[in-house]
Structure 1
């Protein structure tokens, strides 16, 4: 049990509380002006020790600058691309602002103010908050602070981005203009990500069954390409149309090594995502120019009808073409590699809106049939017989 002892100072009588920490080591808390304050502190310590909520004051004196590097060193389980992002967030945003602060001194209101003051895109703010919250979660687990002051905060809403979707004809036009027409068709009709395409090997492609096994993904980390697990860490199989499988025959046949890359840069590295000077961007610009209406004199007489798309928007195109073909949301989810069908609906739910009329019509048909059955089952009232007096 804790003991309370008086002691003298130049300013007068004070009280100190001697108690044992959960590890059995003795410590003390000094500076109480009143004995009742010391007693309340002693009682609180004993209750927290019993409930497992006790936090040693010395543990909270560690600074964020001391804990942060230790936490970063433990993130051996995350993908290299995200590890680079986390390291950047720590160096640019968290360490300069919070590095000198003791963990126990951080209050929730000031964390809210800091988050609200970050003038970045909502997705960037969400990433910064996620990293900061994970560091503070570590402090809670190590019993340096009783609770995470950054937990469950309201963050800026991510703005909905309007996707550009290509039609079948537009995909064919883009493929005809592209250096690698087979890549355009593969992305637009399978929905796989650029990094997943760039990491494909002959062993991953089953042309007879028209299936592709997504086992890896290439990503750019600093100035180099790194091949690792897919984005969701889950291996999946996607289907491709027979026409796309035929286009891949020559590509697969040209790679004698089953473990070699189907497509590679001259230095042997995986293809990197398109830049403004990439062959993909050039093909898009030519399609846009060709879609501009012109009069008899060859002068432009309207706006381009071909949308400005990125390589990633071919993934959105694949989703729209699948949905237009009548694919179920779970099928689209599996093909795209989304973790849940909810994620698929969040991104492409508006493309299913045409089904509402069909649903309403089918439900109306059921309603009319039920009403007809009810009418047929109503008994006919007996006729009244009039008896003359």
Structure 2
């Protein structure tokens, strides 16, 4: 029960403080001149404690920066990359405005104004919507934690109903890029090493994240059951340090190893101990994403993605990215002139003839040997020595690929797009949402559906065809038996 005590300060002035209990501890109000004011304040504080609304005034005097440091100390279970990202966002976007401000002085209006106008520390311009949204979410979470710790009575970034109206609009996500089976094979064939080929195919057919596939060990491969055990992942910090820890969702899972890759994976694991990494860098350590992307993946993608256009240019055909009838006819003529079966498919042997034709065009020797195109011009004009070397390397990479009718070029893509490709190929192959979720390691099927909703829309057409076919099959038709009698034919259930 609240009560008051009389106190005298160092100057000899007499006053009153209120005394009350919250959470079993006896606490005091500030000093009042009138006894009734001290008692009223003590009763208000005690009543707030009964309704879990009491806030320690001293606790709310800490600055936002001080509270952020305290909050971070309690988040040791978070992934190091998450902690690092939060510290960077706080340092660059939150701290300049709120770092030195006491918690109790943060207002809703201040948060709304800051969320709409926060600037980038490097350019001085308004930060991107994605950066502003991430920073605003961080501040909201920080203030929510202050409420939970009874340092604030309510979160000033939220309305009384709990909404966050100041949160910047979510930026539009980059459209996913998917490869077809033929395009994926083309990229794999354009690589220069067995490890690169195996890693690309494994990623695109299982959907493993880069941190997961680069952390696979020989022991994680079960060739008999055709399974991969995904138990850990590498995380790269901003300073370049690689940390080995749990997967993104902190969950272990099994992923099917496609039969077509069993032999390649077994070859990759040959001669290595169970605890050794399956894929390694040049010095035997963990394979780094930046290095692999720059030296192995990107060159293969750039070559494979423009294969059809390069073929058409070499044959003197109009620029296009489609392997159409004109290309088929041109390739057949080239194969006939070169003594190869006129299949119309550009295989490695045919690419050798294409390279010769391309070289002749670059040197201005069109006509010395029969080329397939009409109106063919010389590629020599305007090409520097460096461009000629680049084209020779491009044709060398393409000489390992095979192109056929219907092949199409594609835009460049990232390593993460191989994960999207895996989802696309699985869905087009008839996989259920649950199966795709388990393969990708999503926390729930809802995330899988929200990420790849567009891919599942094609199922509606297939469903409509299936329903239509089943309905048509149930139709009753008239027929005759061998004796000439008319009979009914149709599909009936036992209950009908």
**Contact residue 19 and residue 28 of structure 1 kept, 8 A:** no
Change (3 A) 1:176 1:364: closer
- Tell me which residue corresponds to 2:27: 25
The Cα offsets for residues 64-112 of structure 1, whole Å up to 9 and x where unpaired, read as 1222222222221011111211221222122222111111111123212
Cα distance in 2 for residues equivalent to 1:268 and 1:91: 36
CA distance in 2, matches of 1:242, 1:371: 42
Partner of 1:288: 305
Deviates more, 1:112-121 or 1:298-307: 298-307
Q: Which residue of 2 aligns with 1:245?
A: 262
How many angstroms does 1:266 deviate by? 3.1
Does the aligned pair in 2 maintain the 1:4–1:39 contact within 8 Å?
no
2: CA distance between counterparts of 1:19 and 1:366?
A: 79
Distance 1:296 1:42, change over 3 A: closer
How far apart in 2 are the matches of 1:216 and 1:140? 35
CA offsets 1:313-364 (integer angstroms, 9 cap, x no match): 0111111100111111110010011111111111111111122133345556
CA-to-aligned-CA distance 1:260-288 (integer Å, 9 cap, x gap): 11111234431122466331011111112
Q: Among residues 168, 191, 199, which one is paired with 2:207 in the alignment? A: 191
What is residue 378 of structure 1 aligned with on the other side?
A: none
Q: 1:42 to 1:280 in 2, by over 3 A?
A: same
Q: Does 348-357 or 336-345 show the bigger shift?
A: 348-357
Residue in structure 2 matching 1:135, options 142, 163, 178: 142
1:302 is the counterpart of 2:327: no
1:53 aligns with 2:66: no
Aligned length: 364
TM-score (norm 1): 0.83
d(CA) in 2 for partners of 1:321 and 1:128?
A: 36
Distance 1:26 1:38, change over 3 A: closer
Q: By how many angstroms is 1:58 displaced?
A: 2.1
How far is 1:2 from its partner?
A: 4.3
- The answer to whether the Cα contact below 8 Å between 1:21 and 1:27 also exists between their aligned partners in 2 is no
Instruction: Give the CA deviation at 1:367.
Output: 8.1
Report the TM-score when normalising by structure 2: 0.66
What is the aligned partner in structure 1 of residue 461 from structure 2? 357
1:162 counterpart residue number: 175
Post-superposition shift, 1:240?
Answer: 2.1
Question: Counterpart of 2:112 in 1: which secondary structure?
Answer: helix
Number of the residue aligned with 2:428: 324
- 1:1-389 counterparts in 2 under 5 A? 1-3=2-4, 18-22=18-22, 23-30=25-32, 41-118=41-118, 119-151=126-158, 152-154=163-165, 155=167, 156-179=169-192, 180-221=196-237, 222-255=239-272, 257-274=273-290, 277-292=294-309, 294-295=312-313, 298=316, 301-303=319-321, 305-361=409-465
Gaps of 5+ in 1: 8-14, 373-389
Q: What CA distance in whole angstroms lies between the structure 1 residues aligned with 2:137 and 2:465?
A: 45
Distance 1:104 1:364 in 2: 65
Instruction: Specify the SS of the correspondent of 1:248.
Output: helix
Give secondary structure in 2 for the equivalent of 1:291. Answer: helix
Task: For residue 277 of structure 2, give the secondary structure of its aligned residue in structure 1.
Answer: coil
Q: Once the 2 structures are TM-superposed, how far is the Cα of residue 113 of structure 1 from its aligned partner?
A: 2.1
Q: Within 2, Cα distance between the matches of 1:353 and 1:225?
A: 39
